[in-house]
Amino acid sequence: MRSPLLLILVLFIFIVGCGSDDEVLVCEPTPSTLTTVDLIFKAQFGSEPLVFNTTTYDYEGMGMTISKFDFYISDVSLFKNIGGATEQTDILDIEFVDFTQNNNLVTLELTEVPLGSYDGIVFSIGVPSDLNGQQPGDFSVTHPLGIINVGHHWAAWDSYIFSKIEGRLDTTGNQDFTNFSYHPGTNELFSGPIEKNASIELIANNSNTINFEVDLENIFINGGSLDIQSFPDSHNPDEATGAIHVMDNFPSAISIN
C-alpha cells in the first residue's frame, strides 16, 4: 500500500512544476531539471588547427592563407529517438560564430537546457527566412543580427551574409597572390536542417559540453575542389558558383566530437 505522505509529496511537486492555461495543463521544466551547456566550436584546416594570416596551407599545390572565417548557426535542437518517433528540444534560435576574433575557438554558453540523454543535434547554417528579411535596426544592438554585426547585412540583396571566408592563394609559388572572398547569403543558400548523430549526456552539476569541429579545407574541396582562380568571390548575384559551393559543403565540414 502506498504511503499517503508519498502521494501528497508527488502531487505537490506536480502542481509546482505545472500551470493551467485555459484548462490545459502546461508543464515547464523546473530549475532542478535544467543545466548549462557550452557549445564549443574549433576551426581546422584538414588535420591542422586553423591559424589566421601567418600559416600557409596547401591547396591543390598552391599556398593558401586565411584571414577571415565566420558564420551564423541557427535553429539548434537536441533530439532523442523514442519508440520510433523523434522528440526535439530547442536550445538556440541563432548565434554568430566568429573564429577570426577568437583565434579559431568559440564557446557559446547556453543556460536552461533540459537534462537528459540525447541521440544527436540538429542545426542550420545561415539566417532563417523569417529573420533574413529584417534589418539590423529591428534587433537590439548586441543581438547576433543587430548593429553589432551590421557588416553581415547586405541591403542590396535584402539578406544577411550567412558566412564570410576570406584569404589569399599563391597561384604561382612566387608570391603572386589571388585574393578570394566568399560572402554567401539569400534564402536560397540557407543550409539546413543538418542532423548529426551523437551520444549526448547532460548531467546536473556537471561541465556539459558539445564539441563542434569545423574543417575549412572540407568546405573548399568536398565534391571537387573549388576553382578559386576562376571564381574568387561571390559578390555578383548572377554568378554564385563560389557561394553555392561553400554553403553546400558546410554539412560535411562540421562534425561532433
Number of structural domains, the chain? 1
| Domain span holding position 208 | 35-256
Please check whether residue 29 lies inside any domain of the structure: no
Residue 12: pLDDT band with limits 50, 70, 90: very low
Please check whether residue 7 lies inside any domain of the structure: no
Give the pLDDT score at 31. 54
Which of 219, 215, 220 lies closest to 41, judged by CA? 215
Give the pLDDT score at 126. 98
Which residue's C-alpha cell is 543558400? Answer: 189
Please check whether residue 148 lies inside any domain of the structure: yes
Residue 199 has pLDDT above 70, yes or no: yes
Please check whether residue 207 lies inside any domain of the structure: yes
Residue 257: pLDDT band with limits 50, 70, 90: confident
Range scoring the smallest mean pLDDT among 9-18, 116-125, 128-137: 9-18
Q: Count H helices, E strands: the chain?
A: 4, 16
Give the pLDDT score at 30. 53
Residue 13: pLDDT band with limits 50, 70, 90: very low
Residue 200 cell numbers, joined:
549526448
Residue 55: pLDDT band with limits 50, 70, 90: very high
Please check whether residue 179 lies inside any domain of the structure: yes
Residue 179 has pLDDT above 80, yes or no: yes
pTM of the model: 0.86
Please check whether residue 252 lies inside any domain of the structure: yes
Please check whether residue 4 lies inside any domain of the structure: no
Residue 228 C-alpha from the chain's centroid: 25
Range scoring the smallest mean pLDDT among 28-32, 62-66, 100-104, 167-171: 28-32
Q: What average pLDDT does range 150-155 have in this prediction?
A: 95
Which pairs from 179-183 meet CB under 8 Å and 24+ separation? 179/232, 180/228, 180/232, 180/233, 180/242, 181/232, 181/233, 181/234, 181/235, 182/233, 182/234, 182/242, 182/243, 182/246, 183/154, 183/233, 183/234, 183/235, 183/243
Residue 136 cell numbers, joined:
539590423
Q: What average pLDDT does range 29-57 have in this prediction?
A: 91
Please check whether residue 13 lies inside any domain of the structure: no
Contact 164, 157 (CB under 8 A): no
